[in-house]
């Protein structure tokens, strides 16, 4: 895996996750209608971007995609939890589902690379 690319992709995806979380804190429509699918879409895009840019084998693409997808979601959901916008269980379920979505993005990115 390309650690530098993982950190870069993670930083960008985390900023997007945080923008969504902060916007959702102030705009109920975002919190109620965008958090789940929006967060997973960000993780999917992060996994896809990592795998596409890394242009490595299947295992590094899927692993890197899962890592960046899950980590950016963990940070975003953690902030959302601190703001009391989501219940604690979302931290576990959201992070896990985003890691899976990131791996799916990694698979798509590998196919496109």
pTM of the complete model beyond 0.85: yes
Query: On the CB side of 86, how many CA atoms lie within 13 Å of its CA?
Result: 27
Per-domain residue ranges for the chain?
3-112
Residue 77 vs residues 12, 51, 72, 88: alpha-carbon distances, Å = 16, 23, 9, 9
56 — alpha (psi -120 to 50), left (phi > 0) or beta? Answer: beta
One digit per residue, the tens of pLDDT, for the chain of length 113 reads 889 999 999 999 999 999 999 999 999 999 999 999 999 999 999 999 999 999 899 999 999 999 999 999 999 999 999 999 999 999 999 999 999 999 999 999 999 98
Query: CB–CB of 37/24 below 8 Å?
Result: no
């Amino acid at each position: 895996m390309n650690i530098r690319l993982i950190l870069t992709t993670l930083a960008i995806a985390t900023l997007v996750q945080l923008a969504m979380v902060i916007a959702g804190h102030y705009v109920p429509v975002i919190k109620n209608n965008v958090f789940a699918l929006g967060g997973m879409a960000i993780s999917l895009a992060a996994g896809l971007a990592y795998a596409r840019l890394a242009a490595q084998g299947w295992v590094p693409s899927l692993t890197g995609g899962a890592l960046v997808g899950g980590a950016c979601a963990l940070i975003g959901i953690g902030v959302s939890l601190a703001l009391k916008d989501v219940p604690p269980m979302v931290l576990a379920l959201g992070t896990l589902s985003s890691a899976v979505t990131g791996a799916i993005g990694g698979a798509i990115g590998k196919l496109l690379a």
